[in-house]
């Protein structure tokens, strides 16, 4: 007789000060008490996987997400959770971390953003899950404009450049990058300016999701290549 439980875990990435962060909770109960982990929990009998991960995120971190996609199923290691046989369906989420207020609740003792390059030893196999999420993010940045989900609604073009270089850990030809991004027709220069630390105030840009969707229907393909 099977005794397998199904859980969901969320790899929520945020971006600030040219660094990529992941949202973690400190567990309140169980054998992994006080250890940092990804937000998540068991799926209830009457809910979908997506509803479960959205509920767990809201309950444990006070975060609601717009960009959410199924990442991978973790269950080959039958001992990944010492309490029970648990199969976890992991999700990838992207948020503008400057525009949300995180708050620990339910079975989370604390919640915090951690730089992906400075993660502690996480509970269960969550370090592996974060790594899988980072690989997916790095790949999709080159063929889908998902990076805009990590930025505020309006942003400096230099912030977009920094996002790509810091997450992909590659240098870019800034002139070609700007030319290509603007050539797609999915960015709009606003009338607003931002005072930079040095030099003149710079114009703010915004992403045009409706235009991107329209272009997609016409066969448009987003692609950013790096040497």
CB 15, CB 97: distance < 8 Å = yes
Place of tokens 């400190």: 26
CATH number for the region 146-217 comes to 1.10.10.10
Q: Do domains 4-140 and 146-217 have the same CATH topology?
A: no
CB atoms within 10 A of CB 36: 20
Q: Along the 227 residues of the chain, how does pLDDT read in single tens digits?
A: 778 899 999 999 999 999 999 999 998 766 566 799 999 999 999 999 999 999 999 999 999 999 999 999 998 777 677 777 888 999 999 999 998 999 998 878 899 999 999 999 999 999 999 999 999 999 999 999 999 999 999 999 999 999 999 999 998 888 999 999 999 999 999 998 886 666 678 899 999 999 999 999 999 999 998 76
CB 85, CB 78: distance < 8 Å = yes
Task: Report the SS3 class of residue 110.
Answer: strand
Point out which residues pair with 110 in neighbouring strands.
26
Q: How far apart are CA 13 and CA 134, in angstroms?
A: 9
> Residue 159: left if φ>0, alpha if ψ -120 to 50, beta else—which one?
alpha
| Cβ neighbours for 97, distance < 8 A, ≥ 6 positions apart | 14, 15, 16, 21, 113, 150
Q: How far apart are CA 148 and CA 150, in angstroms?
A: 5
| Cβ neighbours for 46, distance < 8 A, ≥ 6 positions apart | none
Residue ranges covered by each domain of the chain: 4-140, 146-217
118-124: long-range pairs with CB below 8 Å, 24+ = 119/22, 119/24, 120/36, 121/35, 122/24, 122/35, 122/36, 122/37, 122/38, 123/27, 123/32, 123/35, 123/36, 123/37, 124/32, 124/37, 124/80, 124/81, 124/88
Domain 4-140 is in which class? alpha beta
């Amino acid at each position: 007789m099977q005794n397998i439980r199904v859980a969901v875990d969320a790899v929520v990435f945020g971006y600030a000060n040219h660094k990529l962060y992941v949202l973690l909770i400190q567990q309140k109960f169980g054998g992994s008490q006080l250890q940092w982990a990804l937000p998540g929990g068991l799926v209830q009998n009457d809910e979908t996987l997506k509803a479960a991960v959205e509920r767990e995120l809201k309950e444990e971190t006070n975060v609601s997400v717009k960009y959410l996609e199924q990442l991978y199923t973790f269950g080959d290691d039958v001992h990944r959770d010492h309490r029970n046989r648990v199969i976890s369906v992991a999700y990838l989420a992207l948020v503008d971390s400057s525009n949300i207020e995180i708050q620990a609740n339910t079975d989370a003792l604390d919640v915090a953003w951690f730089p992906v390059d400075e993660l502690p030893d996480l509970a269960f196999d969550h370090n592996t899950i974060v790594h899988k999420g980072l690989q997916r993010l790095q790949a999709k940045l080159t063929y889908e404009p998902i990076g805009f989900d990590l930025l505020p609604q309006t942003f400096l073009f230099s912030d977009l450049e920094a996002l790509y270089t810091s997450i992909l850990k590659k240098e870019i030809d800034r002139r070609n990058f700007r030319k290509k991004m603007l050539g797609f027709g999915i960015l709009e220069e606003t009338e607003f300016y931002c005072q930079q630390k040095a030099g003149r105030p710079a114009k703010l840009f915004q992403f045009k999701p409706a235009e991107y969707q329209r272009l997609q229907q016409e066969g448009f393909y987003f692609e950013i290549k790096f040497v």
